[in-house]
Structure 1
Amino acid sequence: MDVLDLYRSAGALHEGRFLLASGRHSPMFLQSTTVLQHPHLAERIGRAMAEKVRAEGLTPAFVIGPAMGGVTLAYEVARHLGVRALFAEKDGAGGMRVREAFDIARGEPFLAVEDVVTTGGSVLKAVDAARKRGGTPLAVACIVDRRQTPAPLGGLPLLSLAHLYFETYAPDDVPAWLAERPLQEI
């Protein structure tokens, strides 16, 4: 499966000037909700990620994703792995929490998922939230790794379906060619 072709065909690969969650500016943006809103596409992506996890020999007891974007993805990957799907939500203090209704046994192995990893901040907050409840992270999996060089994330293996690097810029370091474009908050 060519993930980038899937994003293009769904109209989910955008060019312009975008303000990312990290506060950085980007000339491109991948809108995963445009893709994941279609059950048949979410199912294909979830299956491909589950196959990648199995190929690595990982056996998580549950899959967790950061709300809101990681909820559908966590569900689809978990469904294909035959395990539970959880989510972490903002805690109001800059981190994330896992609801008490989600049971996590001490030492229970888990996989964290994210649609697009740029800095990994959101998914690592979800990992920390599950760790605080007793879970043991095995890896992080994503649809697209946007970092310049694929590498582990927060000391965990990062499994991705695609790698697409494009430069991002601090707000005070945006090049003139990009500064000419209107800024779109996402």
Structure 2
Amino acid sequence: MTEQEIIRILEESGALLTGHFQLRSGLHSNRFFQAALLLQYPDKAETVCRFLAEQYKNEKIDAVISPAVGGLIVGQEVARALGCRAIFADKEDGQLVLKRGFSIKPGDRILVAEDVVTKGGRVQQTIDLARSFGAEIVGIAVIVDRSGGDAKFDVPFKSALKLSLPTFDPAECPMCKEGQAIDRPGSK
């Protein structure tokens, strides 16, 4: 699958938005990737996530873990393509935890799946959680890496697409200076 094919799928689904956005990281941007708009189309989600899974097809993966809520469908579809379990971590008191009877055993080979990475904090929390159970992290699979190369991990980090979307510290944001209303689409 080429970058242009992925961009076409994102555009067809309306997942690339233009406006004034506050990202989960706290940074502002004039562009936003709303994964949910892609993931609402199961056929498109399957296509993109199967492409992600192909990048790890030669690894023996016991489970795919994703942080709730954004990574849930990504993790499910990547796990389906790899033929393994899909589990997710819930947020509780600002931390990620395993609930719902999910388990990770020492030595389990785990792939972390997420929809988008900007700074990588949620992915790192997911890695740390899985490692706290003795898991071996095989890698990270995300639909969109919008970190501009700033998100660094100690395991392979693969994305379907790298987007260099501008981000601004709120104090330096040109849209704020122009008085544009801000949208917080990450949790809508």
Shift of 1:107: 1.4
Shift of 1:133: 2.1
**2:51 partner amino acid:** A
Matched, 1:32 2:35: yes
Matched, 1:168 2:167: yes
Matched, 1:50 2:53: yes
Shift of 1:177: 8.0
Give the TM-score, by structure 1 length.
0.91
Gaps of 5+ in 2: none
1:101 is aligned to: 101
C-alpha deviations, 1:39-80, integer Å up to 9, x for none? Answer: 1111112211111112xx322110011101111110110011
Give the TM-score, by structure 2 length.
0.90
C-alpha deviations, 1:117-158, integer Å up to 9, x for none? Answer: 111111211111111122111111111111223x77321211
How many residue pairs match? The answer is 182
Structure 2 counterparts to residues 1-186 of structure 1, below 5 A: 1=1, 2-54=5-57, 57-92=58-93, 94-99=94-99, 101-149=101-149, 153-175=152-174, 179-186=178-185
1:18 to 1:152, Cα distance in 2 relative to 1, 3 A: closer
- Whether the 8 Å contact between 2:119 and 2:151 is mirrored in structure 1 is no
Percent identity of the aligned residues? 36
1:178 to 1:137, Cα distance in 2 relative to 1, 3 A: farther
Tell me which moved more, 82-91 or 95-104.
95-104
1:154 to 1:95, Cα distance in 2 relative to 1, 3 A: farther
C-alpha deviations, 1:84-109, integer Å up to 9, x for none? Answer: 000011121x2201126112110111
Q: Within 2, Cα distance between the matches of 1:58 and 1:152? A: 23
